């Protein structure tokens, strides 16, 4: 099973700042099948990025994904108030599909 480790656990930033979230895999993610999700309290996760770098329909272009192999990054170029949430990475190239433990992005 591929274990995904996200860092940091909590990120405290202000609106307008740049956010960089990391996801490291215990082994190479097949075909870069790596997704990022945003989740707000009481809501289902929302897919932001798939295939490591492809924005899902409706994802604002301030969100970008990068990386390959075992190291992946989600970057939010300029934080908007609605971006403060928990973010998860997921690999779906190998069974069992697995999720990282999440990064909480909070307002500083």
Partner 1 sequence: EVQLVESGGGLVQPGGSLRLSCVASGFTFRSYWMHWVRQAPGKGLVWVSCIKNDGTSTSYADSVKGRFTISRDNAKNTLYLQMNSLRVEDTAVYYCVLPWGNWGQGTPVTVSS
Q: Which of 19, 25, 29, 35 binds partner 1 (CB under 8 A)?
A: 35
Question: Is-contact 70 94, C-beta < 8 A?
Answer: no
> Dihedral of CA 19/6/10/102: which sign?
positive
For position 56 contacting partner 1 by CB under 8 A, the verdict is yes
Please identify which residue in 80, 101, 106, 108 interacts with partner 1, judged by CB under 8 A: 101
Query: With contact defined as beta carbons under 8 Å apart, do 55 and 63 qualify?
Result: yes
- Report yes or no: 55 and 62 within 8 Å, Cβ to Cβ: no
Q: Which of 9, 14, 16, 44 binds partner 1 (CB under 8 A)?
A: 44
**Chain positions contacting partner 1, by CB under 8 A:** 35, 37, 39, 44-47, 50, 56-57, 88, 90, 92, 95-102
């Amino acid at each position: 099973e591929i274990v995904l480790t996200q860092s940091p656990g909590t990120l405290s930033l202000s609106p307008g700042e740049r956010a960089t979230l990391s996801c490291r895999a215990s082994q190479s993610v097949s075909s870069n099948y790596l997704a990022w999700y945003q989740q707000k309290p009481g809501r289902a996760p929302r897919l932001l990025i798939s295939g490591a770098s492809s924005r899902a329909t409706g994802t604002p272009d301030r969100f970008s994904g990068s990386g390959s192999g075992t190291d992946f990054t989600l970057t939010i170029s300029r934080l908007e108030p609605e971006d403060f949430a928990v973010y998860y990475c997921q690999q779906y190239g190998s069974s069992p599909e697995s999720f990282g433990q999440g990064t909480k992005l909070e307002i500083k």
